[in-house]
Amino acid sequence: MTQNDSAAAPLIDGFGRTIRYLRVSVTDRCDLRCRYCMAEEMTFLPRASIATLEELAIIAERFVARGVRKIRLSGGEPLVRRDVMQLVQRLGRHVGDTLDELTMTTNGTRLREHAPALRDAGIRRLNVSLDSRDPALFRHVTRHGDVAQVLDGIAAARDAGLAVKVNMVALKGLNEDEIATMLGWCVAEGHDLTLIETMPLGAVDEDRTDRFLPLTVVKERLDARFSLFHDAAQTGGPARYWRVDGGPTRLGLISPLTQNFCDGCNRVRLTTEGRLYTCLGHDDHRDLRAALRDGGVPALDAMIEDALATKPRRHDFRIGRDEAPAVARHMSVTGG
């Protein structure tokens, strides 16, 4: 196979899964400190190790050249990285051509300022994390966040013409009694809602076991309050979906602990250091930025190919008192 043939061929891993989706963590830093995600005192990556936005763009574009159709920018909080809009605008130019969708996961604190520019750059949908609409509980979960700011950010996104999907991590004894009201609010506001089981990624100050709430339990509770119809549409992602009360709202459940989804995995993750992780739950990675710096695009392409050949079959997440986190990296490093 020639260099050009190789560069045009789709990315298929050792288990026959075609990679169509790239997540990019543009920073590991954040203006919040959600308890299940980060420790209160975090050591962030040294600035010298962070890839430039230009490097992240070049690497992401190599994936697009190999058939990736969707890119999600995440973090950390993507909107705290200075000049991140340059990356959004550059990748946004591919939307409608080689890219079906460019999107972002954000905590929403800076959406009032950025929503119109995100829309102008080609983003049409956002995931916004909102674990509670109760000001005191939101402050507790995020350690210092102001929920009014996030709700205002969501309103700004809607004003700018962006569809919003709310992400809510189900937390036993914290927000579990609010899940049904959150779904009712999402139905009323026209947002989708995705519920997520807390995952054992990186050390935090608490034992995640105390807060782990199986979504199997949550689903039973929601069934008693809403008519949920399974939506068979497969996104190739980890969520399973239900239509709520016959309307347009979709409820997504991401249950890595109680329902493994790895067989249909179509994604890989690029960190802010330019490292490629082919699985959220494993430490194996390749330094794509080093390849780019040392050998340019040919070396980058070769390393991507090599990484895909060894993408693990599945994650091995377990939650229990005696279990260490599956990997030492926090979700904010790999890009949730």
Determine the interface stretch with ligand SF4 among 33-41, 180-188, 200-208, 262-270 (rule: CB under 6 A): 33-41
CA angle 246, 250, 256 (to 5 degrees): 135
- Closest distance of CB 334 from ligand SAM, Å: 8
The site for ligand SF4, by CB under 6 A, has a size of 12
Determine the interface stretch with ligand SF4 among 7-15, 34-42, 55-63, 115-123 (rule: CB under 6 A): 34-42
Residue 238 tokens read as 């980890």
Contact 329, 202 (CB under 8 A): yes
Q: Which of 24, 38, 195, 292 binds ligand SF4 (CB under 6 A)?
A: 38
Q: Are strands 101-106 and 125-129 parallel, antiparallel or unpaired?
A: parallel
Is residue 255 at the binding interface for ligand SAM, with CB under 6 A as the rule?
no
DSSP per-residue letters across 144-174: S--HHHHHHHHHHHHHTT-EEEEEEEEBTTT
How far, in Å, CA of 160 to CA of 11, rounded? 35
Is residue 75 at the binding interface for ligand SAM, with CB under 6 A as the rule?
yes
- Closest distance of CB 130 from ligand SF4, Å: 10
How far, in Å, CA of 250 to CA of 165, rounded? 9
Is residue 109 at the binding interface for ligand SAM, with CB under 6 A as the rule?
no
Determine the interface stretch with ligand SAM among 70-78, 229-237, 278-286, 302-310 (rule: CB under 6 A): 70-78
Is residue 174 at the binding interface for ligand SF4, with CB under 6 A as the rule?
no
Site mask for ligand SAM (CB under 6 A), range 114-143, x = bound: ---------------x--------------
How far, in Å, CA of 135 to CA of 151, rounded? 11
| Residue 198 partner contact from ligand SF4, ligand SAM, none using kind-dependent CB cut-offs of 5 to 8 Å | ligand SAM
Contact residues for 32 (Cβ-Cβ < 8 A; gap 6+): 77, 107, 109, 142, 143, 144, 145
62 versus 208: smaller Cβ distance to ligand SAM: 208
Q: Which of 22, 24, 32, 186 binds ligand SF4 (CB under 6 A)?
A: 32
Amino acid at 159: D
3-state secondary structure of 84: helix
30 versus 244: smaller Cβ distance to ligand SAM: 30
Integer CA distances (angstroms), 52 to 7, 26, 38, 73, 285, in order:
23, 9, 24, 15, 19
| Residue 167 partner contact from ligand SAM, ligand SF4, none using kind-dependent CB cut-offs of 5 to 8 Å | ligand SAM
Is residue 13 at the binding interface for ligand SF4, with CB under 6 A as the rule?
no
**Within positions 272 to 331, which residues make up the interface with ligand SAM, using CB under 6 A?**
331
β-bridge mates for residue 120, sequence order: none
Closest alpha carbon to 106 in 122, 126, 124, 133: 126
Q: Which residues are at the interface with ligand SF4 (CB under 6 A)?
A: 30, 32-34, 37-38, 75-77, 107, 129, 332
Q: Which residues are at the interface with ligand SAM (CB under 6 A)?
A: 30, 36-37, 74-75, 77, 105-107, 129, 167, 169, 196, 198-199, 201, 331-332, 336
